[in-house]
Chains A and B, each alone.
Chain A
Amino acid sequence: MEKRPKSFYVLTGFFALFILFLYGPTLTIGILSFQGPGGGLTFPMRGVSLNWFHELFQEQAVGDIWGAFRRSLMLGLMVMVTTVVVSVMGGFAFRKRFYGSGILFYLIIASLVIPSILISLGVGLIFNQFGMKIHWATSGFGSQLTWTLPFGLLIMFAVFNRFDKSFEEAARDQGASPWQTVRHVVLPIIAPSLIGVGLFGFTLSYDEFARTLLTAGSYNTLPLEIFGMTTNVTTPVIYALGTMTTLFSLLIIGAFLLTVWIMGKRRARFGSDAGKGV
């Protein structure tokens, strides 16, 4: 193997610092959430305890975080399923290059780049003007879709740009109906990317703040609840909550990545019999 140039070692150092920069602060609050009962928001640690995690389960200390967590979880799942279904349908639609697909494409980009607070403000105003009650499952749900759908569709565009059409032609030549082609050929091929779309849908919704701010109504989602806490909670209980939600996010990310990995393995095992014939 070729000898590494000196720049390799410099860049490795740079990369290590970047990773430290990305993860360092989160690890710090992870450690500080185990502060002793008398400890404050910064080091030094005054003992080690589970005190602040314990407080998370006491309503008077933290308000309705478990209700907020349940709502965020529910909303995340709703957004995830909708994002996957709508993005896949949209992805199929864009392959047909229909009239107006160009405009729709720029609308998707607009949805991505528009400042979130405009969605929040606009949707809030519409609901008020028409006398509808804003609620996380209606106005909040729709507002979040304007953020998750562009990511879903960009992934679908990337997938279909690389999609080998001869698989579909082969299916059609063998007499598969259009639906059978989609169900048994296209969807299995793009399945790992759909898991990716789902991951974006869930996590972006679960962490969304700006687009839910004026559209969630009287029941807060978890990010709104956490932001509310930053103004009136001055104990490490907020770190404990941060640590818990980050662990939850990591668990979800891990589950998605594991699913993709297992799919890849299964595919390698059962997928092609090319070259194995006798």
Chain B
Amino acid sequence: MLKNRHIQGWLQASPLTLVLLGFLILPIITIVVVSFWQATEFSIIPAFSFENYEFLFGSPVTYKVFFATFKYAFITWAMTLAIGFTVAYYLAFHIRSQTLQIALFLLCTIPFWTSNIIRMISWIPFLGRNGIANSALQSWGIIDQPLEWLLYSDFSVILAFVHLYTLFMVVPIFNTMTRIDHSLIEAARDNGASGFQTLVHVILPLTKPGIMIGTIFVLTLVMGDFITVRFMSGSQKANVGRLISNDISLLQYPSAAATAVILLITVLIVIGILLRFVDIRKEL
């Protein structure tokens, strides 16, 4: 019996399956169930009511907050893609020594392994009212008054997102670019394509899978975020994640669960669309 590859496969995958069942599937089921419950100030009551959803869809705040979430996701996506593509292109096609290529690639990835919270905190001395940016601009005579919108604004939220998540674009795009057959690029040049034409008509289409994987990472990280928005906006801006975490801090679990269900569905729809463009298993 142990010779059967299906049984062997399941045995070897069982620890993984158990973790995912207990800490991914079961929590999602619980959230869905609790989203139909009711809550008082002190406790949550099992019920089957659409109250939470009615309230959610009846409130103009919900639409505003979902719009803000998409806005953050879209702007961050566009910026991380532009920066990430450029950096990956430079590393993959302009650095000729492989040792240097690996070293520079590591230089780009090391911040990923350090604390996001510290990386957010570290923007304060730069962006604050008396921060480096404002003092520099003032001493150069570009502005008279310190700019108030540098910290605790949409600007600082998006800046932090780009700072934290550009890596997630660089890595998959670089990965697909290094697998592009160099003879294709030579062929393009032999046929008279300029550097820019080669980039647009050869490299860009071949890099699409990497771009899609990076896009999935960035969109889901930004759409599910609550901490970056809270910290970088000084609690002045909201996205869906913050709506959920506010409900949680007020112990309004059923309402938080309903918002979480809608957020999850939204994220899954976005991922579903993106997965039509890329076969992840093939790209690894």
Q: Which listed residue, A15, A126, A250, touches B26 by the CB 8 Å rule? A: A126
Q: How far is the CA of A196 from the CA of B17 in the complex (A)?
A: 22
Interface residues of B (CB under 8 A from A): 5-13, 15-17, 19-20, 22-28, 30-31, 34, 83, 86-87, 89-91, 94, 96, 104, 106-108, 110-111, 113-119, 121-126, 128, 130-132, 135, 163, 166, 195, 216, 220, 223-227, 231, 241, 244-245, 248, 253, 256-257, 260, 263-264, 267-268, 271, 280-281, 284
Residues of chain B with a CB closer than 8 A to A89's CB? 12-13, 15-16
Contact A157–B263 (Cβ < 8 Å): no
Which residues 107-150 of A sit at the B interface, judged by CB distance below 8 A?
107-119, 121-123, 125-126, 129, 142-143, 145-146, 149
Contact A118–B263 (Cβ < 8 Å): yes
Contact B226–A210 (Cβ < 8 Å): yes
Residues of chain B with a CB closer than 8 A to A145's CB? 19, 23
Q: How far is the CA of A157 from the CA of B175 in the complex (A)?
A: 14
The residue on B at minimum CB distance from A107 is B20
Contact B5–A43 (Cβ < 8 Å): no
Residues of chain B with a CB closer than 8 A to A11's CB? 86, 89-90, 94
Residues of chain B with a CB closer than 8 A to A47's CB? none
Of A98-106, A165-173, A187-195, A267-275, the segment with at least 4 beta carbons within 8 Å of chain B is A98-106
| CB of A192, distance to nearest CB on chain B (Å) | 13
Residues of chain A with a CB closer than 8 A to B125's CB? 25, 28-29, 32, 41-43, 239
Residues of chain A with a CB closer than 8 A to B132's CB? 28, 42-43
Range, interface on chain A? 35 or more
Residues of chain A with a CB closer than 8 A to B263's CB? 115, 118
Contact A96–B6 (Cβ < 8 Å): yes
Contact A14–B260 (Cβ < 8 Å): no
The residue on B at minimum CB distance from A102 is B281
Contact B117–A125 (Cβ < 8 Å): no
Interface residues of A (CB under 8 A from B): 1, 5, 7-8, 11-12, 14-15, 18-19, 21-26, 28-29, 32, 41-43, 85-87, 89-90, 92-94, 96-101, 104-105, 107-119, 121-123, 125-126, 129, 142-143, 145-146, 149, 153-154, 157-158, 161, 199-200, 203-204, 206-207, 209-210, 213-214, 223, 226-227, 230, 238-239, 242, 245-246, 249-250, 252-253, 257
Contact A94–B135 (Cβ < 8 Å): no
| CB of A21, distance to nearest CB on chain B (Å) | 7
Contact A22–B6 (Cβ < 8 Å): no
Q: How far is the CA of A90 from the CA of B10 in the complex (A)?
A: 9
Contact A108–B34 (Cβ < 8 Å): no
Contact B23–A119 (Cβ < 8 Å): yes
Contact A230–B231 (Cβ < 8 Å): yes
Contact A114–B224 (Cβ < 8 Å): yes
Q: How far is the CA of A109 from the CA of B20 in the complex (A)?
A: 11
| CB of A31, distance to nearest CB on chain B (Å) | 9
Contact A119–B24 (Cβ < 8 Å): yes
Could you list some 24 contacts between A and B, CB below 8 A? Answer: A12-B94, A14-B90, A22-B108, A23-B111, A24-B126, A26-B114, A28-B122, A29-B118, A42-B131, A90-B15, A96-B5, A96-B6, A96-B12, A108-B16, A113-B267, A125-B27, A125-B30, A126-B27, A142-B22, A149-B16, A209-B227, A226-B117, A230-B121, A245-B114
Q: How far is the CA of A1 from the CA of B69 in the complex (A)?
A: 49
Residues of chain B with a CB closer than 8 A to A223's CB? 115, 117
Residues of chain A with a CB closer than 8 A to B5's CB? 96-98
Q: Which listed residue, A14, A25, A114, touches B24 by the CB 8 Å rule? A: A114
Q: Which listed residue, B30, B108, B224, B241, touches A129 by the CB 8 Å rule? A: B30
Contact B118–A242 (Cβ < 8 Å): yes
Q: How far is the CA of A188 from the CA of B113 in the complex (A)?
A: 25
| CB of B111, distance to nearest CB on chain A (Å) | 5
Residues of chain A with a CB closer than 8 A to B268's CB? 110
